[in-house]
Structure 1
Amino acid sequence: MKVAIIKYNAGNIFSVQHSLQRLGIEALITADKEVISGADKIIFPGVGQAETTMNYLRSQHLDQLIKELKQPVLGICLGMQLMCDYSEEGNTDCLGIFHTPVKRFIPTQQEDKVPHMGWNTLTHLDSDLFKGMEDNEFVYFVHSYYVPVNEYTAAQTDYILPFSAALHKDNFYATQFHPEKSGKTGEQILVNFLNL
């Protein structure tokens, strides 16, 4: 199986590659459009800033490529947010795969810390990404922006308010949390994605 990890100006790409190596998968980190188009599975991970990242994707024409992919694609963290219509981070127009905005967390009480950082549970699981799993599995989050619950929501988490922990539409899957940092649960999600 050929797995491509889209290379762009975002952090945390190598930790995804390492977690796939632990599963016996040698994923290629690449910005080569032909290699990406020819892969069986594509992962679009990242930690970074929405506006600068979208500008980079556009400059490399990766924005068009990602939208046109027909094989399973998994967006992670910033990758998920960039697959939405629009982000409040830098008032950024994004890829528009999921027709929903990305909003900034607004603390409602003193103990609400932004970014939302650490382990939290998943509920309302509704995707093959979560095959063999039950509600209240713990996964690892680090984010200041969130996707509201919407028609594409494939899992929810509650922090300040209920938000989309995962999205799914057609061949596009996405997680706000980091499967590569989420222990056995995260490994299972990656295996489920590879088995799609």
Structure 2
Amino acid sequence: MICQNNGTLQASGLSQALVGTLLKEWGFDGYVRWLRGLRGRYRLRRDWTIDFLHERFNIKQVTEPASGKSSIFVAYKYKKLVVDEKHLHVVDHHDEKEDHGGGTNPLFEFVPATSGMFLWLKFPLQYHKDYHHLVETRSPSEARTFLSDRLWKGLLDSGVLFRPGFVSKGGARKKGIKLAIRLRF
């Protein structure tokens, strides 16, 4: 136990020396200036990521900031992504038959990050076209695992780098019918 604490909780001497030297050179005001610049860069990258989602999906805000809760945004199918050998193209598209519900079923939801560098996309699986059929033939947990594994494989096959949400939550897949992807911006 003591060896583990020393190995994982204490910073190395080199990193402590580097931070000490930076703080001595920059001073407190320099450190605060650096933090403000970092905050601005992350805000810009977050906004670019959200703008990218708005360009490709029909995004609706479902909670108002005045309610005291964070704004939740829900994405619906609106634009079609066309992939050729090396490029991803966005085409304005709305096909009632392809939407499996006329475009009323959410694809994913997210809350814009207010700190940090991650945006969590949560996918409500109950709206997936295969979910109810899968639940008839297996448990809800098995259906969720099947659909999430299919999503992860599809993303990997498309060359998209991602991290399944359950990896960031201690390695356990939570019960329920939502799965999550943690995007870094």
TM-score of the pair, normalised by structure 1: 0.24
Q: Of Structure 1 and Structure 2, which has the larger fraction of its residues in helix?
A: 2
Q: Of Structure 1 and Structure 2, which has the larger fraction of its residues in strand?
A: 1
TM-score of the pair, normalised by structure 2: 0.25
Q: Which has the higher contact order (CA 8 A, sep 6+)?
A: 1
